């Protein structure tokens, strides 16, 4: 089982920060795998720094997702930038804020669901059975 941690970061206009992967033509939330002996919220902070060059604070848990096809567990947080400016990195060749109703068409489908869930006041608990990044044609990555 892989445990993942992703962060929805909104700007003041409630647009969401996405990064475009260098290794695959897909936009996604900053995030990735939780390392051994690392708390999911600490992984979210680390991944935001690594992927988009910002320091964040985790505001709240927005969702907890079970992916039965891969037995993965994914924590989704809302975060706020407390330092830095979003920038490209070794992992992301583009970064930008997008309106919720105008996400790039190649945004990872499961992450679109998580972004929409982050708009809810309550934490969402659900199984995600749709295609992930690893299911998209030509993918060699795991979400």
Lowest mean pLDDT among 2-6, 123-127, 133-137: 133-137
Lowest mean pLDDT among 11-15, 45-49, 86-90, 128-132: 128-132
Average pLDDT over residues 110-136: 87
**For the chain, which domains are there?**
3-130 (3.90.79.10)
State how beta strands 124-127 and 31-33 pair: unpaired
Q: What pLDDT score was predicted for residue 60?
A: 98
Measured distance CA(46)–CA(136) in Å, rounded = 26
Residue 123 confidence (pLDDT) above 70 = yes
User: 9 near 83, Cβ under 8 Å?
Assistant: no
User: 31 near 6, Cβ under 8 Å?
Assistant: yes
């Amino acid at each position: 089982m892989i445990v993942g941690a992703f962060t929805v970061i909104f700007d003041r206009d409630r647009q969401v920060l996405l990064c475009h992967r260098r290794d695959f033509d897909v936009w996604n939330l900053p995030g990735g795998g939780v390392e051994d002996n690392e708390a999911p919220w600490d992984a979210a902070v680390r991944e935001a720094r690594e992927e988009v060059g910002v320091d964040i604070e985790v505001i709240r848990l927005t969702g907890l997702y079970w992916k039965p096809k891969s037995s993965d567990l994914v924590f989704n947080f809302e975060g706020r930038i407390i330092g830095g400016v979003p920038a490209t990195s070794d992992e992301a060749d583009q970064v930008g804020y997008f309106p919720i109703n105008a996400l790039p068409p190649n945004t990872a489908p499961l992450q679109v669901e998580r972004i929409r869930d982050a708009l809810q006041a309550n934490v969402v608990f659900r199984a995600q059975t749709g295609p992930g990044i690893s299911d998209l044609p030509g993918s060699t990555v795991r979400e």
